[in-house]
Amino acid sequence: MTRSTDLDGLIALGTARARSRRQSLTPLRTQVLAVLAAQSRPLGAYDIQRALSASKHMSPISIYRSLEFLMEIGLVHRLATQSAYVLLKRPPAENETLLCLVCRSCGEVDEVSSPAVGQTLGSTLAAASFTPASRLMEVEGDCSDCRRRMSLSHPG
């Protein structure tokens, strides 16, 4: 399944964020962003490399560097549970807690903002005198579509 993503809008956002850091959204970074935008599932760096190598050879280190940059500017998240990367549908606002809901059956990733989790996390972080690099959390489980399919295949 592909997702409908405003690639031009993402590129404009990425360009603005890169410029604010006195850097640029290079052609390779733009291509990596486009590959991720075309997919609804997380992709590994080698998946991205294969998708791009159809046009020319790309070294894995170049892909990893591009992914790292896209993570730094808040457009991409690395899912630790899958060692894969996903385009954030909506980059989180400052101090917003964003939950990435990862379906362990189909691999789809959804994002939800949770003020309640954010408030509890904020209190916990303050009590620990800890400043997070990110307020993005992963939760692994089964999406509603997969649960429905499982209940139909195993009734009762």
* Span 10-32, pLDDT tens digits: 999 999 999 999 999 999 999 99
Cα distance between residue 86 and residue 48, in whole Å: 11
Residues near 51 by beta carbon (within 8 Å), at least 6 away in sequence: 35, 43
Query: Is the per-residue pLDDT at 120 higher than 70?
Result: yes
**pLDDT confidence of 136, banded at 50, 70, 90?**
confident
Cα distance between residue 135 and residue 46, in whole Å: 27
Whether this prediction's pTM lies above 0.75 is answered by yes
pLDDT tens sequence across 20-72? 999 999 999 999 999 999 987 899 999 999 999 876 777 889 999 999 999 99
